[in-house]
Structure 1
Amino acid sequence: MATPVVTKTAWKLQEIVAHASNVSSLVLGKASGRLLATGGDDCRVNLWSINKPNCIMSLTGHTSPVESVRLNTPEELIVAGSQSGSIRVWDLEAAKILRTLMGHKANICSLDFHPYGEFVASGSQDTNIKLWDIRRKGCVFRYRGHSQAVRCLRFSPDGKWLASAADDHTVKLWDLTAGKMMSEFPGHTGPVNVVEFHPNEYLLASGSSDRTIRFWDLEKFQVVSCIEGEPGPVRSVLFNPDGCCLYSGCQDSLRVYGWEPERCFDVVLVNWGKVADLAICNDQLIGVAFSQSNVSSYVVDLTRVTRTGTVARDPVQDHRPLAQPPPNPSAPLRRIYERPSTTCSRPQRVKQNSESERRSPSSEDDRDERESRAEIQNAEDYNEIFQPKNSISRTPPRRSEPFPAPPEDDVATAKEAAKPSPAMDVQFPVPNLEVLPRPPVVASTPAPAPKAEPAIIPATRNEPIGLKASDFLPAVKIPQQAELVDDDAMSQIRKGHDTMCVVLTSRHKNLDTVRAVWTTSDIKTSVDSAVAINDLSVVVDLLNIVNQKASLWKLDLCTTVLPQIEKLLQSKYESYVQTGCTSLKLILQRFLPLITDMLAAPPSVGVDISREERLHKCRLCYKQLKSISGLVKSKSGLSGRHGSTFRELHLLMASLD
């Protein structure tokens, strides 16, 4: 009688070259477990089908490395955040850019799609969390409370809460409709890298660099249990779809945990290094990891993994004590999420028809969208995954049979798919996907649908405009009115006007603060206060005043202003660039000879404190100018007025070399 073939519990599926430069972020589609998105230092977002060697689509438009990517639940939209703070949303079915969102002042570290409403949440190194309305390209809420970079964001399954994890060692829970923090969960002693909601119960898991996983009760707002002794920083966790256990992607292993009481059900050795994301499909867990330009995928057969019980199978001799399970593990111990029975349609595209819209301040963002492209690299895979069958439904990523495992007695490791070359800049014709119009879906509060929406103030100048509870619930179809009545049109116009008034009021308040400091102290202190406010527009206003009187400039003022000038020269606003160039030219003309002479002078004999302080300031300015010189050189090749200004600055900075 033939001996049955015993297969492996975990194996490597394939390794691909995902980008021409280093991979900086990646995410798996959680619905299918088969769609992979990668972001790279080459400023691209590439789409892949797991276990296939060729890139499906390459998304361009970002001008700095892509730091974070996220797919929505139906896997038809993708959002990517860059090192510069910009966010772009692409429609994968239509193969084109959908939205550009500007407003963060530093790297985008985390993103998440709302499960029902048409919103995206973003967390940044600037410590802010922003909630964006995709339809209107606007920031509807800004959540402040973290003191360091926000590393992970997750919406609750019912869409009413947002959980955030940050480098400040805390986890926070935000009420979306109230626009405020519900609770803060302290306890971690290191940066918190990941948070994940239980799929059914009011329970939240958080993983940290302190090598612990904590479980939090969202009714009593207290810790339930804590898993300690992880082999390294916790970067990826995932609840089983039925909520029976939690998977933790550890260094070269998968660990399976229970939390009431805390216990380890199983440990599976997987040679995946630092796994970056996990997903489940067909009773298989898919894990992906990246190193330099390569991305590797791995499979764990969950039918061979212990997910409940009291005895842990631990091949790495994990001897932590095991506790008894609860009396009835199938019964939930806390409240269950109440999910709506329907889901929202995709975000409707905003039409730009009227003359007022074409002249609106958002034209710069629209230009960014025109310059962004979705290049189909593999038309066959693209049509299979993204092309809709009709106007209502789409073909989901293919849910094929589970990935076959290599025989356990096979000496060779799993055969990897052929490594492809990095995504090439080859464009295939985009098929016409919009065969039939989609049924109109509007907000649950009765509101007429305009033929052409009024202009929306760009998010860079936008303050939160608020939400209703109905915004976070699935839309309800209602009869569509023919046209806007006057009152409705005026209310929409006032909303943009009120937003601008809020922005200008905040800016005026900041300027009053700086002015108060200036009247009671010196110019250096007032510039320091402007920088501390962390609003580049205030710095620009102050420099425009200082630039008019060259005698106000001192060497110690240069040390504070030069880092801000570097930011201004990289701004997309022409007035900011012009102010930065003017300030830099004044500094070079007044202080560069002094700086170079001080650095070239021989050391002084004896103790001269004032000279040592001046020498220290010169060294600091020299270092900052060297940092700016590369930027000036790269922009000196531009055409037009800015190009000639940068060429002049480049000549003035020649003595730095």
Structure 2
Amino acid sequence: MATPVVTKTAWKLQEIVAHASNVSSLVLGKASGRLLATGGDDCRVNLWSINKPNCIMSLTGHTSPVESVRLNTPEELIVAGSQSGSIRVWDLEAAKILRTLMGHKANICSLDFHPYGEFVASGSQDTNIKLWDIRRKGCVFRYRGHSQAVRCLRFSPDGKWLASAADDHTVKLWDLTAGKMMSEFPGHTGPVNVVEFHPNEYLLASGSSDRTIRFWDLEKFQVVSCIEGEPGPVRSILFNPDGCCLYSGCQDSLRVYGWEPERCFDVVLVHWGKVADLAICNDQLIGVAFSQSNVSSYVVDLTRVTRTGTVAQDPVQDSRPLAQQPPHPSAPLRRIYERPSTTCSKPQRVKQNSESERRSPSSEDDRDERESRAEIQNAEDYNEIFQPKNSISRTPPRRSEPFPAPPEDDMATAKEAAKPSPATDAQFPVPNICPGGAGTLEVLSRPPVITSTPAPKAEPAIFPATRNEPIGLKASDFLPAVKIPQQAELVDEDAMSQIRKGHDTMCVVLTSRHKNLDTVRGVWTTGDIKTSVDSAVAINDLSVVVDLLNIVNQKASLWKLDLCTTVLPQIEKLLQSKYESYVQTGCTSLKLILQRFLPLITDILAAPPSVGVDISREERLHKCRLCYKQLKSISSLVKSKSGLSGRHGSAFRELHLLMASLD
């Protein structure tokens, strides 16, 4: 009689050399489980198809090691953050750079794409979290509250919340529309490395270097349970797509947990070392790990893993009669997310006409995008993965084909713990269960997830009124556009609320500016222009300097050589400003100075030294030397910006020609 073929539960798929130097980050595409992105110390982002040896595409442009990478849900866009704090977004289908986002002051530690709206969230070692609008290339909001590096960011499945985990041992939940923190979850005693939302319920899981996984109720904002005893720091966790269990990628093993009550369903030996990311497709769990320049991928056959119902147990530690053991769980009672029924299109390359709707890109941004490249390394794989098969959808790489399992070599080593008999249904004892910190937590009344369609219940209000204060964003910004047949008109109160957005902040800014201008005007009435400009500079407000220069520029006779020595350093700041009006004023003032005073400055500096003592000439010579030094400093800036396109480009090219005599 022939022996039946037995396949392995877990196996190594492949190992590749992903970069020329050390790999610093990697991520799996969660939709297909087949697309892998790696970031390296060589400042590149490389794209791979799992189980294929050749790189599909290499993305360049970063000038420092890539610390974090993330793919969007359709696997059409990728965002990468570097050690210097810069962020780049590439369109994989078009094989080109889409956006460069600058603003963080330190390493980018975490990134995530919004599930519906065209936004990216970034967390940095500078402790800030920023929300970016990909369409308009600008920062929408900054969330401040963490005191150390932000290690992980995740948007909620409905797109309304953002969870953050940081080295300060805390997890925070942010309301995107209100722009403020909803709740803070303390309890971890070490850096929190990862957070994940349950795919259906109001539940959040967090993993920490303190070797614990905590589950948080997002209705009551309190801990549900805590699992201790992980072999090492928790770096990778992932909910099963139907929400029945949580997978934890431990050192050389995969552990499967339930949370109500907390218990371990199964432990699978994988030998993957420090696994960095997990994904699920076709009842297979894909895990990837990296060491130096190598990346390894592994597969776990989930059909051979216990995920719910029967619980892996130690019969020595739980010898209670069957009647005394916990009853079989039923459907959960926690609230579920309300997802929109439509999907979101990828960011449009919109033409930005209104100054209020755009951020003027700096020359550095333009240069970054010109120097960023998406180099296709393998045209066959690229066409298979990223080129649409038809006008409706794109076929991910081999999504419908599970990875074939190799024959089992040794059944005894395939799994660390044997699956228990169906006759037993007992809680797996986890030592020192939180939150008390001592003893074990008694079995909770709320059961674990079994199905993805929980029983209906009355839905309590989630957002108190104080959480809905406007910050310039609205809930619809984070949802796909849905045509509503009969949309009710705004009531008067809502209309006024829309009009008053940012009104108080603008009033404070304008009041301060008016006060500063009154101070300058008081000096101006004395007729001393130089002292007026000095007072404007002393206030340290570029807007006041701009207002004053706009007046002085209208009358060339007001300009004197000593006024140039004060204004030139301010002009250098204006030329580097992100505001179009500031750059324009700086160009106008610099052009006037060059036309009126540059010939005088060069003639005086070229004249032979005088004989005897001439104090007025010495003072004039000193001013000319100072102006010349300042103009030389500005000339390099003007030269770098002369390559810009549009009106500013032509203005800088004209200034560059006027400053040619400086060389």
Shift, 1:140, TM fit: 1.3
Change (3 A) 1:647 1:425: farther
Indicate whether 1:439 and 2:447 are aligned. Answer: yes
Change (3 A) 1:489 1:286: same
Contact 1:36 1:49 in 2 (8 A): yes
* Alignment deviations for residues 45-67 of structure 1 (CA, whole Å, 9 cap, x no partner): 11000000000011111111111
Shift, 1:311, TM fit: 3.2
Shift, 1:323, TM fit: 13
Which residue number corresponds to residue 219 of structure 1? 219
Moved more, 94-103 or 383-392: 383-392
Moved more, 18-27 or 497-506: 497-506
Change (3 A) 1:50 1:146: same
Aligned-residue Cα RMSD (Å) equals 14.6
What pairs up with 1:44-443 in 2 under 5 angstroms?
A: 44-312=44-312, 327=327, 329-351=329-351, 360-362=360-362, 364-409=364-409
Moved more, 479-488 or 450-459: 450-459
What pairs up with 1:590-609 in 2 under 5 angstroms?
A: none
Change (3 A) 1:493 1:109: farther
Moved more, 629-638 or 343-352: 629-638
Shift, 1:576, TM fit: 16
Shift, 1:636, TM fit: 21
Change (3 A) 1:299 1:496: same
SS in 1 for 2:477: helix
Contact 2:197 2:205 in 1 (8 A): yes
Q: TM-score w.r.t. structure 2 length?
A: 0.65
SS in 1 for 2:8: coil
- State the distance in 2 between where 1:570 and 1:35 align: 40
- State the distance in 1 between where 2:390 and 2:516 align: 53
Contact 1:151 1:192 in 2 (8 A): yes
Change (3 A) 1:224 1:586: farther
Contact 1:444 1:475 in 2 (8 A): no
* Alignment deviations for residues 55-108 of structure 1 (CA, whole Å, 9 cap, x no partner): 001111111111111111111111111111111111111111111111111111
Change (3 A) 1:225 1:398: same
Which residue number corresponds to residue 455 of structure 1? 461
Change (3 A) 1:75 1:424: farther
Change (3 A) 1:356 1:608: closer
Shift, 1:350, TM fit: 2.4
Change (3 A) 1:600 1:261: farther
Contact 1:114 1:120 in 2 (8 A): yes
- State the distance in 2 between where 1:509 and 1:340 align: 49
Q: How many residues align?
A: 655
Moved more, 180-189 or 516-525: 516-525
Change (3 A) 1:84 1:568: farther
Moved more, 286-295 or 457-466: 457-466
Contact 1:236 1:275 in 2 (8 A): yes
Change (3 A) 1:511 1:566: same
Q: TM-score w.r.t. structure 1 length?
A: 0.66
* Alignment deviations for residues 204-234 of structure 1 (CA, whole Å, 9 cap, x no partner): 0000000000000011110000001111000
- State the distance in 1 between where 2:622 and 2:315 align: 57
Moved more, 236-245 or 633-642: 633-642
- State the distance in 1 between where 2:243 and 2:381 align: 33
Shift, 1:168, TM fit: 0.5
- State the distance in 2 between where 1:219 and 1:98 align: 38
- State the distance in 2 between where 1:289 and 1:134 align: 30
- State the distance in 2 between where 1:494 and 1:383 align: 50
* Alignment deviations for residues 443-502 of structure 1 (CA, whole Å, 9 cap, x no partner): 999xx9999999999999999962111111211359999999999999999999999999
Q: Between the two proteins, what is the percent identity of the paired residues?
A: 97
Change (3 A) 1:515 1:184: farther
* Alignment deviations for residues 388-443 of structure 1 (CA, whole Å, 9 cap, x no partner): 13444323333142111221138999999999999999999999999999999999
Unaligned runs of 5+ in 2: 433-440
- State the distance in 1 between where 2:563 and 2:360 align: 37
- State the distance in 1 between where 2:643 and 2:493 align: 51
Change (3 A) 1:168 1:403: same
- State the distance in 2 between where 1:321 and 1:123 align: 50
Contact 1:12 1:416 in 2 (8 A): no
Change (3 A) 1:638 1:177: closer
Change (3 A) 1:202 1:483: closer
* Alignment deviations for residues 339-362 of structure 1 (CA, whole Å, 9 cap, x no partner): 111111111112379999999445
Moved more, 277-286 or 557-566: 557-566
Change (3 A) 1:646 1:354: closer
Contact 1:159 1:472 in 2 (8 A): yes
* Alignment deviations for residues 261-287 of structure 1 (CA, whole Å, 9 cap, x no partner): 111111111111100000011111100
Shift, 1:589, TM fit: 33
- State the distance in 2 between where 1:463 and 1:391 align: 41
Change (3 A) 1:263 1:412: closer
Contact 1:362 1:458 in 2 (8 A): no
Moved more, 501-510 or 53-62: 501-510
Contact 1:457 1:500 in 2 (8 A): no
Shift, 1:365, TM fit: 2.2
* Alignment deviations for residues 88-133 of structure 1 (CA, whole Å, 9 cap, x no partner): 1111111111111111111111111111111111111111111111
Moved more, 273-282 or 636-645: 636-645
Contact 1:41 1:64 in 2 (8 A): yes
Change (3 A) 1:593 1:349: closer
- State the distance in 1 between where 2:553 and 2:424 align: 47
Which residue number corresponds to residue 559 of structure 1? 565
Contact 2:81 2:109 in 1 (8 A): yes
* Alignment deviations for residues 143-169 of structure 1 (CA, whole Å, 9 cap, x no partner): 111111110011111111111000110
Change (3 A) 1:264 1:375: same
Shift, 1:297, TM fit: 0.4
Select the structure of larger CA radius of gyration. 2
Contact 1:85 1:106 in 2 (8 A): yes
- State the distance in 2 between where 1:617 and 1:264 align: 78
Contact 2:247 2:256 in 1 (8 A): yes
Change (3 A) 1:354 1:464: closer
Unaligned runs of 5+ in 1: none
Indicate whether 1:478 and 2:484 are aligned. Answer: yes
